[in-house]
Amino acid sequence: MQRPPLSKLLAFAAVLLLAAAAPAEPYWITWEGNDYPENQGWQRITYGGGCDRWLEDGTMVLDGLASIDISDFYRLDASMDIGPDEFFLMEWRLRVDEVYGFADPGINMTSLDQAMLTIVYSADRFYILDEHIWIDFAPGVFHDYSLKSYDLVTYTLHIDGELAHTGQYSPAGWDSGVEWGDYVRGARSLSTWDYVRFGIVPEPTGALLGLAALLVLLSSPGIRR
């Protein structure tokens, strides 16, 4: 019997992979810097008149240098319920351009009566409010941040793909969701945000890993087309 062409096998395996990776309960929310967040479902919260802001090359610049009374951040309510074989993942890309004061740009996640984590930035390091620790970063350039938790008790934080910290959430929180932006009143800053993403993500199963291996095998040079 003639074997199906490689292209059909690859397409079939890809469909199975996508179907298995898309259960109903997990979700993935993204803001990619191509529009103002409030146009994509986020709530904009401002104090002191809010920041001067603009979109620039797929990023959003938040200029709150005019006053320490300015705060301008974005909130989205979302469930933080983690099921079996799932985890919470939050990713963001940020360049801190200027900060005057203790810290100003920031990001926060909360799970009602369960977990809270707040990170606020100075020019060359950030402060994890719930653990009272500082972590340094190279100033003046973009960094990619990734925070992952399986239980909303402990988490890992990666910067540019490297493990930077393993920590523990504060065991309290208000309504479940994520906030980010010019976060602190009492300091001034200029920051540039590229993306913010978060959600409840399914852990790859044995079937998914097997399909991924099949895709690699089928695409290898030794397989006839």
**Same domain (yes/no): 8, 59:** no
We report the CATH number of the domain holding residue 175 as: 2.60.120.200
**Same domain (yes/no): 77, 125:** yes
Summarize pLDDT for 149-192 with one digit per residue, the tens. 999 999 999 999 999 999 999 998 789 999 999 999 999 999 99
Q: Which of 2, 45, 26, 9 is nearest to 220 (CA)?
A: 9
pLDDT of 204 reads: 83
User: Do the domain assignments include residue 165?
Assistant: yes
pLDDT band at 86 (very low <50, low <70, confident <90, very high): very high
**Same domain (yes/no): 16, 113:** no
Q: Which residues contact 2 (CB under 8 A, 6 or more apart)?
A: none
pLDDT of 174 reads: 83
**Same domain (yes/no): 68, 10:** no
70, amino acid identity: I
**Same domain (yes/no): 69, 81:** yes
Q: Counting beta carbons within 10 angstroms of the beta carbon of residue 51, is it exposed (0 to 12), middle (13 to 18) or buried (19 or more)? A: buried
Sign of CA dihedral 17, 219, 162, 105: negative
pLDDT band at 140 (very low <50, low <70, confident <90, very high): very high
User: Do the domain assignments include residue 68?
Assistant: yes
**Same domain (yes/no): 189, 208:** no
**Same domain (yes/no): 81, 6:** no
Sign of CA dihedral 169, 171, 176, 181: negative
Summarize pLDDT for 109-127 with one digit per residue, the tens. 999 989 999 999 999 999 9
Longest Cα–Cα distance in the chain: 75
**Same domain (yes/no): 39, 141:** yes
Summarize pLDDT for 34-71 with one digit per residue, the tens. 999 999 999 999 999 999 999 999 999 999 999 999 99
Residue scoring higher pLDDT (205 or 185): 185
pTM (2 decimals)?
0.81
**Residue 168 CA from chain centroid, whole number:** 17
Annotate 189-209 with b (16+ C-beta within 10 A) or e (fewer): bbbbbbbbbbbbbbeeeeeee
What are the backbone dihedrals phi and psi of residue 113, each rounded to the nearest 5 degrees, phi first?
60, 25
Sign of CA dihedral 176, 158, 146, 187: positive
pLDDT of 172 reads: 83
pLDDT of 121 reads: 98
Check pLDDT > 50 for residue 7.
Answer: no
Residue scoring higher pLDDT (225 or 139): 139
According to DSSP, the residues that pair with 200 across neighbouring strands are: 27, 88
Check pLDDT > 60 for residue 2.
Answer: no
**Same domain (yes/no): 30, 48:** yes
**Same domain (yes/no): 89, 152:** yes
pLDDT of 65 reads: 98
Q: Which of 146, 148, 102, 110 is nearest to 126 (CA)?
A: 102
User: Do the domain assignments include residue 158?
Assistant: yes
User: Do the domain assignments include residue 225?
Assistant: no
**Same domain (yes/no): 1, 74:** no
Number of separate domains in the chain: 2
**Same domain (yes/no): 56, 114:** yes
pLDDT band at 205 (very low <50, low <70, confident <90, very high): low
Q: How many C-beta atoms lie closer than 10 Å to residue 130's C-beta? A: 19
Check pLDDT > 50 for residue 1.
Answer: no
What are the backbone dihedrals phi and psi of residue 210, each rounded to the nearest 5 degrees, phi first?
-65, -40
Full residue range of the structural domain in which residue 1 is found: 1-21+204-220
Three-state secondary structure call for residue 220 = coil
Q: Which residue intervals of the chain are DSSP H helices?
A: 6-20, 206-218
